[in-house]
A and B are shown apart, each in its own frame.
Chain A
Amino acid sequence: METIKLVYPVEGGDLIEAGEASSKMKLTLKKLGLPQDVIRRASICMYEGEINMVIHADGGEAQVEVDSDQILIRMIDSGPGIPNVQQAMQEGFSTADSTARELGFGAGMGLPNMKRYSDEMTIDTVVGTGTTVTVKIKIPQ
């Protein structure tokens, strides 16, 4: 199969509306007939990444590439960057504000969840410039 490329803009700030990019991607993956578990793992990673771009980086862009053997999701923002990635990866670490917390976010589980549900994850970040989180989900053959 030829690589399918999908691009989704993510609006910053509006946590209430967040999840549109992930919902659209999920629908597309379903139409492609991928296994339920693969779709679920990709959707959770994408949603956590989307929420992070909304809460922490004032939006960004999600780029998704689907091949016959893997899904690659890149979440790219020009936000503040992550000063200490190791700390950010710890379960429970969060700098989210009270607005996010009241809505049920900010448990500090987003990046760990992305790690848990992906087969590979990399974080490229420069303080003051932005962050790109890339996750790869393998499709069992």
Chain B
Amino acid sequence: MTVQQLIASMNLTVFHLTDSQRAVTGGYVGDLLSWVMGRAGQDCAWLTIMSNQNVAAVALMADVSCVVLTEGVQPDEDLLRRAKEKSVTLLGTPLDTFTAACKLGQALN
């Protein structure tokens, strides 16, 4: 699945889109940044409620395909700026994290 297909199938909000054709091969849910770096797989969609600018750096280092802010969380201004600077795709959904993860799982199948 591509980022573009994920956006369509989960009806995600686009805050910043870098590479719509990038592959999404899995998912990870977490808000503790080191935990995410240790466990999230390359090319996964990372679901989080964290919205500070460190999220952009973590997404870049962990090399995830996109960040999905759940629960209607809006990126703070600095996060949006950093995401653009670092070419990190930043998406959002009003869904709670559990429901969003279920939908992601369905979309990946």
Contacts and interface: CB of A to CB of B under 8 A. Distances in A.
A113 interface: yes
Nearest to B78: A16
A109 B42 contact: no
Contacts of B38: 109, 112-113, 116
Contacts of B58: 47
B31 A104 contact: yes
A39 B62 CA distance: 10
Contacts of A22: 57, 61
A44 B39 CA distance: 11
Contact of B33 (A39, A40, A105): A105
B60 interface: yes
B54 interface: yes
Interface residues of A, number: 27
Contact of B34 (A15, A37, A48): A48
Contacts of B35: 107, 109
A43 interface: yes
B62 to A, nearest CB: 7
Interface residues of B, number: 22
A81 interface: no
Task: Give the interface centre of A23, A108, A116 by most chain B CB atoms within 10 Å.
Answer: A23
Contacts of B32: 104, 107, 109
A2 B35 CA distance: 36
A19 interface: yes
Interface of B: 31-35, 37-38, 42, 50, 52-58, 60-63, 78, 86
A104 B37 CA distance: 11
A36 B42 CA distance: 9
Interface string A17-54: 01100110010000000001101100110111001000
A104 B50 contact: yes
Interface string A93-115: 00000000001110111101100
A44 B33 CA distance: 11
Contacts of A48: 34, 37
Contacts of B50: 104
A46 B60 CA distance: 12
A29 to B, nearest CB: 11
11 contacts: A16-B52, A19-B54, A23-B60, A40-B42, A40-B62, A47-B57, A48-B34, A104-B31, A104-B33, A105-B33, A109-B35
